[in-house]
Structure 1
Amino acid sequence: MSQEMWSISEPQTLELAGVAEVKVALIKGRFDIVVTEGKTTTLEISEVDGQPLEVSFTNGTLKVEHFNSSNWLQRLINFQQNATAVISIAVPAGTLVTASTVNADGMVSGSARTTLRTVTGSLMADATEGLLTLDTVSGEIIARDHRGTLVAKSVSGDVMASGDMSDIRANTVSGNVSFDLHGVPVSLNAKSVSGDITVRIPRNVGVSVNATSASGTLLLDQERFSNLGQSTSAATGPDTPRLKAHTTTVSGAVTIVYAAEESTNPSLTKEGF
């Protein structure tokens, strides 16, 4: 097993060849991960405070950590809250990325399979491909122009995503989730307690929805359903292509509408990142 390790307490730059996967775990601060045309991965650490940043490179996996991200939520009690780091990583195309933060902010741009997890931080995924997994407690996560499958989980944080997504799975307690779908979406399965679920679909795509709610409402295009009680099924638009949607809520509202002819969504811009 090939392994290199560093304990970094001041600004430093590392260049590594053969990186296939990156794992970042920060408490405070910021990370930016972008794709480069080269085959070398460049890690630039511009700020470290509170405790050294532990960096390791083992069998193609680069780890940059202020805490052990395994069972990350269970380790909250052990976090040293004064640990801060600001880093940027340039990775080759196709690199797998996992980033976990307590309240650090960050962005991943253009990578392959990506996982973003945060407690209270604000995170963004931009132009990612493949499987994108988003997990937040109360922080906000935005995914823009994603292509592939999306899995989102939230306690009270909001999740907003746009792109050519074929399969969407979401689970939220009180956080709101919003999806602006392009291309030909195939399936959506979303569950919520009190958070709202909003879906915008292309105008050439039909939708069939099966909705279950105790006291929430369903708005499908311009038709509103309330007092759902048991499962309610409805459909609108062309028979093919067609999005199959399944939603389950307690009191959260479900809205599935067609996008405007030339829709823009200011909430999914990069402002602030």
Structure 2
Amino acid sequence: MSEWSVAEPDALTFEEPVTALQVRIVGGTVNVVGTEESSARLEVTEIEGPPLRVTHRGGTLTVAYEDLPWRGFLKGKWLDPDGWRRHAVVSLAVPAGTRVEVGAVSAAAVVSGVGGRTEVRGVSGDTTLVRLTGPVSADTVSGAVEAQALAGDLRFRSVSGDLTVVEAGSCVRADSVSGSMIVDIDDSGRPTDIGLNSVSGEIAIRLPGPADAQVEANTASGTVSSAFEDLRVNGQWGAKRITGRLGAGNGRLKATTVSGSIALLRRPASEGAPTDKKVL
């Protein structure tokens, strides 16, 4: 095992294979990008507080504070702002197939161009995910997650953080208490597999036309709207539902809220194409 302690701005290059990356920081920013290079590179441009411990063992590169374990990351003292008196700006370039785990407390996280499994856990910082081809898992307390051009499955869980996905892959699973969800599905032709749940957050889903899914959307007290004339919008007072089949119904779309609104949107088939919309 190789080990370094980084207490000031520095850059390190790792020629030995890197197949997994683990990053855990408090304050600042972590940026991870996948490359076609076989080596990995770390650059720390800003650091305040205790040093970062960097280890490379058995193909796993770890950049973290010693007192910030991955297990129980979203619990304990890191939910208390008094424990956040640290700051680091960390950038990493790793082989595109690397499996990535990022934990960020009051820090922004950006992961792009990675093909391995990506897992992000955040307390209050925002997360940006771009051009990821492997499965993605994102857990936040209050930080927002923005994602674009995801080819793999996405699993999102949050208390109050918002989710925005542009050009999502075929499978999205999301659960939130009060965060809003905006999900735009790509037009790859794969069957849609969407499951979104929220207590009070708003949900908006944009589907390509023609879409292919069995649809069930429910809200106990919010409003619903649909841009698809083939779907039924039911309910006058209280609970409302959108149900029906789009295309052959090979995919699945299910959205549920207690008090939030639900909107099903459609990309126009061509510029200026008419859109029928039902609102209740």
The residue correspondences of 1:36-185 to structure 2 (distance < 5 A) are 36-66=35-65, 67-75=68-76, 76=78, 80-112=83-115, 113-182=117-186, 183=188, 184-185=190-191
Moved more, 143-152 or 62-71: 62-71
Q: What letter matches 1:205 in structure 2? A: A
Paired residue type of 1:6: W
User: Contact 1:208–1:233 (CA<8 Å) still a contact in 2?
Assistant: no
Match of 1:7 in 2: 5
Task: Give the superposition deviation at 1:58.
Answer: 2.0
Distance in 1, Cα, partners of 2:251 & 2:178? 25
- Structure-1 separation of matches of 2:161 and 2:98: 27
What's the CA shift for 1:227? 5.2
Aligned to 1:239: 248
Q: CA deviation at 1:105?
A: 0.9
**SS of residue in 2 equivalent to 1:148:** coil
State the AA in 1 paired with 2:19: A
User: Per-residue displacement from partner, 1:147-204 (whole Å, max 9, x unpaired)?
Assistant: 0101111111111112241111110100001111002342111111001111101112
Cα deviation for residue 41 of structure 1 reads 0.5
Determine helix, strand or coil for the equivalent of 1:120. coil
Partner of 1:211: 217
Preserved contact between residue 192 and residue 248 of structure 1 (Cα < 8 Å): yes
Q: Can you list the C-alpha shifts for 1:99-133, whole angstroms capped at 9, x where unaligned?
A: 11111112111102111221111110110012111
Q: Which amino acid is 2:199 matched to?
A: V
Contact in 1 for aligned 2:132/2:151 (Cα 8 Å): yes
Partner of 1:266: none
Please list every run of 5 or more consecutive structure 2 residues that lacks an aligned counterpart in the other structure: 272-280
SS in 2 for 1:129: coil
1:4–1:157 CA distance, 2 compared to 1 (3 A): same
Name the % identity.
Answer: 32
Alignment root-mean-square deviation, CA: 2.2
Q: Secondary structure at the match of 2:75?
A: helix
**Alignment partner, residue 261 of structure 2:** 253
User: Higher Cα Rg: structure 1 or 2?
Assistant: 2
State the Cα distance separating 1:80 from its structure 2 match.
Answer: 3.5
- Decide which structure has greater strand share: 1
Q: Count residues with an aligned counterpart.
A: 260
Distance 1:77 1:186, change over 3 A: closer
What's the CA shift for 1:94?
A: 0.7
TM-score (normalised: structure 1):
0.87
Q: What is the identity, as a one-letter code, of the residue corresponding to 1:51?
A: P
Conserved in 1, the CA contact under 8 Å of 2:79 and 2:123? no
CA distance in 1: counterparts of 2:234 and 2:121, whole angstroms: 34
| Aligned AA (1:10) | E
1:198-218 superposed Cα distances (whole Å, 9 cap, x missing partner)? 110111213321233321233
Instruction: Quote the Cα distance in structure 2 between the aligned partners of 1:230 and 1:11.
Output: 56
Q: Is the 8 A contact 2:233 2:242 kept in 1?
A: no
